[in-house]
Amino acid sequence: MENKVLSRYVDELATRVNGEVEESFGVLVLKVKAPFISETLIGAKNFPDVPCDFLHDLCGVDGGDHLEVVYQLSSLHGPQLLRVKASMDRENPVIDSATRIWEGANYLEREAYDMFGI
C-alpha cells in the first residue's frame, strides 16, 4: 500500500516540477531538470505519510550529451525508495546544493564535482 501512496505523491510532485516518473527494478524514478531539484527534494522529503527523508547516496552520471546527478532517497519511517535524477547541459553543469536539505550531501556533492565538474 505504501508504494501506491508514494506513487501518488511522486506523480503529483512530477506534475509540479515538470518531471517524468518511471519505475526501474521496483524503484520509482523521478526525472527532473536541474533548476527544479531543490523543489523536488524538499517535496519528496515532506511527503505526508511516506516522507523520503533520508539521502542514501548522491552521484554524478555522464549521460553522453548531458550530465545527471542521481539522488537515492528512502524513508526513516518505512520501506519506500525513490530515485531522483536531475539532468543538465554539459556546457553548464550547475545544480543547487542539497546540503540545505541534508547536511550529509556535502561530501557526496564534492565527489560529483571532482569527478564530473557538477
Structural domain that includes position 25: 2-116
SS3 track for 101-118: CCCCHHHHHHHHHHHHCC
CATH of the domain at 67: 3.30.460.80
Q: What is the pLDDT of residue 66?
A: 95
Residue/partner pairs of 103-110 with CB below 8 Å, 24 or more apart: 104/55, 105/55, 105/58, 108/55, 108/57, 108/58, 108/59, 109/58
The residue ranges of the chain whose pLDDT is under 50 are: 1
pLDDT, residue 2, reads 52
pTM, entire model? 0.94
Return the pLDDT at 1. Answer: 39
User: For residue 34, which amino acid is it?
Assistant: A
pLDDT of residue 63: 92
Phi and psi dihedrals of 80, rounded to 5?
-70, 145
For 43-93, the DSSP string reads HHHT-SSS---EEEEEEEEE-SSEEEEEEEEE-SSSS-EEEEEEEEESSS-
Q: What pLDDT was estimated at residue 114? A: 94
> In the numeric block, which cell numbers belong to residue 89?
547541459
User: For the chain, what is the domain count?
Assistant: 1
What DSSP designation does 34 have? G
3-state secondary structure of 39: helix
